[in-house]
């Protein structure tokens, strides 16, 4: 009986082997091919950002600034090279102020081969932003998402025209946000990235993996400090660039509110002593004697808590909120003085201080 069973099993196995040899298509169904990579295997993982580039790149233009020669007011020579970003179907382009600062004529070259002379709508030297405009139909517009918030570690792509080689895309991550140490006035916050930004990239786009505009590339650390560095570059945040553009389009220049105080964030120890309700306040360290704050009765060591009922969250938020206000606006600011809250009414002035970043 045992021998009969063994012979039957052996015959069955032999028959199965012959069928698998004769019909290879049965192997995948009967025997899993563990040697072959599975669809979700790391061996088949392909990372590509071509869709992001396809969305964003057409809206990134080459900018050539031209200047009259010293010997003739009729001859123009190319003096500067940069990039720009089309952000509106009406032809508005954001670039850096330093790209077009000395130009007598500005030429914009689109990636589809079109070339046009650009008109300067306005500039803001403080933020190094210039707004240009070109005429044209069916202009490509870069994707924008005001809800996106730059986070350290986000993958970003820098798109521009380095050294006039032609449009180039480099890859990196956001290394830091809120960098103000290289700002000429110590106030403007930059996005730091390790995506390569070289001469000609200035004014180009920093985008995320969806092709959405993250910032306007403006400088490398080497350009700002003349130090030999690698992997340290900066971009102006998109939200700031957009806000500056809207001001320039509306008024031809950037009108900034001003109250005339200087301060710093309260430290963590003071914040704990004051309690959670006062966390985020700033200590007033200096007051312009001729400014609106002095007229309203501010004193040094006052701690600013709220502006028009909105709780402040640090020095940068106060600067942003005040500069966005129109001169002549009356606001109520709550300060903490000698342990008691005090409401002061301030009439916002205009920040007319001269500012040249170079």
- Residue 340 makes CB contacts below 8 A (sequence gap 6+) with none
Burial (Cβ within 10 Å: 0-12, 13-18, ≥19) of residue 99: buried
71 contact partners, CB below 8 Å, separation of at least 6: none
Q: What's the CA angle centered on 313, arms 312 and 319, to 5 degrees?
A: 70
List CB contacts of 233: < 8 A, sequence separation 6 or more: 158, 172, 192, 193, 194, 195, 196, 197, 217, 219, 220, 221
Q: Which residue has the tokens 């301030």?
A: 346
* Tokens at 135, concatenated: 């005429």
Q: Are strands 190-193 and 233-237 parallel, antiparallel or unpaired?
A: antiparallel
Distance from C-alpha of 48 to C-alpha of 63, rounded to nearest angstrom: 28
- Quote the CA–CA distance of 207 and 167 in Å, as a whole number: 14
Q: Which of these, 318, 278, 283, lies nearest to 299 by C-alpha position?
A: 283
Q: Exposure of 141 by Cβ count < 10 A (0-12 exposed, 13-18 middle, 19+ buried)?
A: middle
Give me the active site residues, please.
Answer: 98, 128, 202
Task: Using only the alpha carbons of the chain, give its radius of gyration.
Answer: 30
**Phi, psi dihedral angles at 63 (to 5 degrees):** -120, 130
Phi/psi for 204 (5° steps) reads -80, -175
Task: End-to-end CA distance of the chain: give it in Å, rounded.
Answer: 100
Distance between CA atoms of residues 108 and 95, nearest Å:
11
């Amino acid at each position: 009986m045992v021998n009969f069973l063994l012979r039957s099993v052996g015959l069955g196995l032999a028959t199965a082997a012959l069928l698998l040899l004769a019909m290879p298509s049965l192997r995948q169904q009967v025997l899993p091919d563990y040697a072959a990579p599975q669809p979700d295997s790391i061996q088949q993982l392909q990372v590509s950002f071509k869709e992001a580039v396809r969305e964003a790149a057409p809206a990134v233009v080459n900018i050539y600034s031209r200047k009259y020669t010293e010997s003739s007011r009729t001859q123009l020579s190319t003096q500067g090279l940069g990039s720009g970003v089309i952000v509106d179907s009406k032809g508005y382009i954001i670039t850096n102020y330093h790209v077009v600062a000395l130009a007598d004529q500005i030429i914009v070259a689109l990636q589809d081969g079109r070339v046009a002379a650009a008109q300067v709508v306005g500039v803001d030297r403080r933020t190094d932003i210039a707004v240009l405009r070109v005429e044209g139909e069916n202009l490509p517009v870069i994707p924008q998402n005001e809800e996106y918030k730059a986070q350290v570690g986000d993958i970003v792509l820098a798109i521009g025209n380095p050294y006039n080689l032609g449009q180039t895309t480099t890859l990196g991550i956001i290394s830091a946000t809120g960098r103000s140490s290289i700002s000429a006035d110590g106030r403007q916050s930059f996005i730091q990235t390790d995506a390569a930004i070289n001469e000609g990239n200035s004014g180009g786009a920093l985008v995320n993996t969806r092709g959405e505009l993250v910032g306007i590339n403006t400088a490398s650390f080497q350009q700002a400090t003349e130090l030999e560095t690698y992997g340290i570059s900066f971009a102006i945040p998109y939200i700031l660039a957009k806000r500056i553009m809207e001001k320039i389009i509306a008024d031809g220049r950037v009108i900034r509110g001003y109250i005339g105080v200087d301060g710093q964030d309260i430290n963590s120890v003071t914040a704990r002593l004051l309690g959670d309700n006062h966390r985020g306040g700033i200590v007033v360290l200096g007051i312009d004697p001729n400014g609106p704050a002095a007229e309203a009765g501010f004193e040094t060591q006052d701690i600013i808590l709220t502006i028009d009922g909105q709780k402040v969250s640090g020095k940068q938020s106060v600067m942003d909120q005040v500069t966005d206000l129109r001169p002549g606006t009356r606001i109520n600011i709550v300060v903490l003085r000698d342990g008691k809250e005090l409401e002061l009414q301030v009439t916002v002035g205009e920040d007319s201080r001269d500012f040249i970043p170079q």
